[in-house]
Structures are given as C-alpha cells and as structure tokens.
Amino acid sequence: MKIVVTGGAGFIGSNLTDALLAAGHDVTVLDNFCTGQRRFLEQAAAQPSFRLVELDLLRDDRLVDTIDGAEVVVHLAANADVRFGWDHPGRDVEQNLLVTHRILEACRTTGVGQLLFSSTGSVYGETDVIPTPEDCPFPVQTSLYGASKAAAEGFAQAYAEGTDLRVTIFRFVSIMGPRYTHGHVIDFVRKLRRDHGRLDILGDGTQRKSYLDVSDCVAAVMSRIGQPDRGAVFNLGTPEYCTVTDSATWICGRLGVEPQFVYSGGDRGWIGDNPFIFLDTAKITGTGWQPRFSIREAVERTVDYLLANEWLLELEP
C-alpha cells in the first residue's frame, strides 16, 4: 500500500517506516527534522520504495499534494513534550491540534482511505479508574499536551463520522526502545554520565508509570492498517506499571552505577504530571496483539541502545 508517515524521522516514526518497508509497502515520510533524526532513516533511504519530503506540516502548501494518492496516513508528528507546555502555551495547539486538522483536511480532500493517529494516555488526566479503559468517565484535562491530543482525537472522530475517512486512534503510554531520544531514561543516563554518585529525581519516586517497547507499539499500529475503524480508540501499553524509582534502579543497574537518589519531593514531577498511569489494554489485546517486552525489558533495551549510540546523548536535550 502507499502509506504516508508524518514524523517518520522520529523515534516511533522511523521504526514504523522500517517495518512498513520490510512488509512491502511504499512509504513517504514527512518530517521537518525538528526532533527527527536523518540517521534514523539511513536504512529506509536505501529502499527504492521510500521517499522523504522535508516540510513544515503547519504551514507548507505542499502538504495536500504530498498526501495525494496515499491510501493510508499514519500521523505521528507532534510536540511530544508534556513537561514544558507552559513555556510555550501555543505550541501544543499549533503542533498537535492545528497540524492534525491540516492532515485531516488533506486526507478528506484527496480521498485518503484511513488515518491512524497517535494520541496518548495523557488524555485521561488524573482519572480515578485504573487500569484505565478507553471508555472511562469523561476526563478532566490536566496538561496542554493532553488537552491538545484529546482535541485532535475529537476532530479525527468528527471526520470519521462526517466523511469517508476511516480513523484509528491509539492512546500510547510512554514508548521506549531503539531510537528513543526524549524522556526520563535519556535524562537519567545523561545525568549519570556526568555524576555516577548522585541522581536527581523529580517528585518522590513513587509516581507509577507504564512504558511500552517501540517494536510492540509499531506492531500494534500495523495490525490496524486496512481495518474498517470509524474513530475506534485503542489503548496501547503493557499489562503492568513500575515506579520512577524502579525505572531509575534498572537504569543504574544497566549502567553499573550505584548513585544516591535525591528526590525533589512531592507526588508529581511537574505541573500536569500524572502520578499514576496504567492503561487497560483489553481492547487491543482482544484483537490478538500482545506486547513482547515487559516494562523492565523496554527500559533496559533503551539504556543499551543509548550506550551503543552515544551521539544521541550529545544532542541538545
């Protein structure tokens, strides 16, 4: 199939691109290389069925022409940083909502068959229902990031209702694994390389989080391509959670260091941090998908990857 992957030079996008090419699809990656990495596409670029278009999804007039002719669009491009929303209060609106709306319009006007969209468990805010199913009580948004993704989901669903576009929405937990570039694991690894003896941790370390390996994430996304979803929502995660201290301990173990953990305190790492994320994944596992990696394995694979790719640790955090 002819498939467009937005954000295809990013962590998840480049893994998906490689998997789609391996499965025999034609893949066009759209990326502005704001956080994407050209090195992540080296393997893909060697394939004749791969095409790269460098553009700004928010403003570039070539968007419609670029999408025209695709059967499927996987829209992964986003501002994925939930922590620094208040430094740039318009960024989530622009990068996550307005860009998604431009993609939806481009899909509608060119007759793309299916859009698959990466949303987030952050749309559940601080729900009381844990593990959280897709149809948990109407949540209250607690971050600009979560609000922007929830907003984009809603527009995507309205397009699925009002046009011929089929829409599949995934609510990801945090994703780990090869090509990971952003989040607490890389932050901790960077800190521990500077100082083996001390690790500063935001919050009190008891925040409970869920992670999923990128290969499992990619397999789930691929399993829905071609399905007749009309705005269907699937949580993606593992059937478990860990604490921030668990994760820090695994990371230190993999690095062979034994620092003192110094907690900033409080049950939240930052404004809008959710102290307990654990998604109910019965709906996606009911389709036959299962994660292959545990949370611990996903975290450890991430550390191994970073150690084998030190150039990533040198990037601007």
Tell me which residues touch a copy of itself (CB under 8 A).
85-86, 89-90, 93, 97-98, 101, 104-105, 108, 125, 134-144, 146-148, 150-155, 157-158, 161-163, 231, 233, 271-272
**Euclidean distance between CA atoms 264 and 31, whole angstroms:** 36
For residue 131, whether the previous peptide bond is cis, meaning omega lies within 30 degrees of 0, is yes
Closest distance to a copy of itself from the beta carbon of 224 (Å): 16
What is the SS3 assignment for 228-275? CCEEEEEEECCCCCEEHHHHHHHHHHHHCCCCEEEECCCCCCCCCCCC
Nearer to a copy of itself among residue 139 and residue 239 (C-beta): 139
**Euclidean distance between CA atoms 32 and 6, whole angstroms:** 9
Closest distance to a copy of itself from the beta carbon of 181 (Å): 25
Nearer to a copy of itself among residue 50 and residue 170 (C-beta): 170
DSSP 60-101: -TTHHHHHTT-SEEEE------STTGGGSTTHHIIIIIIHHH
Question: How many residues does this entry show for the chain?
Answer: 317
Place of tokens 């935001």: 202
Nearer to a copy of itself among residue 33 and residue 86 (C-beta): 86
Nearer to a copy of itself among residue 272 and residue 291 (C-beta): 272
Closest distance to a copy of itself from the beta carbon of 304 (Å): 35
Burial of 199 (0-12, 13-18, 19+ CB in 10 A): buried
**Euclidean distance between CA atoms 38 and 61, whole angstroms:** 23
Closest distance to a copy of itself from the beta carbon of 145 (Å): 8
Backbone φ, ψ for residue 12 (5° rounding): -70, -40
Q: Which two tokens stand for residue 272?
A: 């809008």
Closest distance to a copy of itself from the beta carbon of 207 (Å): 16
Largest Cα–Cα separation, the chain: 58
**Euclidean distance between CA atoms 29 and 17, whole angstroms:** 8
Closest distance to a copy of itself from the beta carbon of 15 (Å): 28
Nearer to a copy of itself among residue 158 and residue 262 (C-beta): 158
Nearer to a copy of itself among residue 104 and residue 175 (C-beta): 104
Closest distance to a copy of itself from the beta carbon of 137 (Å): 4
Nearer to a copy of itself among residue 113 and residue 139 (C-beta): 139
Closest distance to a copy of itself from the beta carbon of 35 (Å): 22
Task: Return left, alpha or beta for 289; rule: phi > 0 is left, psi -120 to 50 is alpha, else beta.
Answer: beta
Nearer to a copy of itself among residue 17 and residue 142 (C-beta): 142
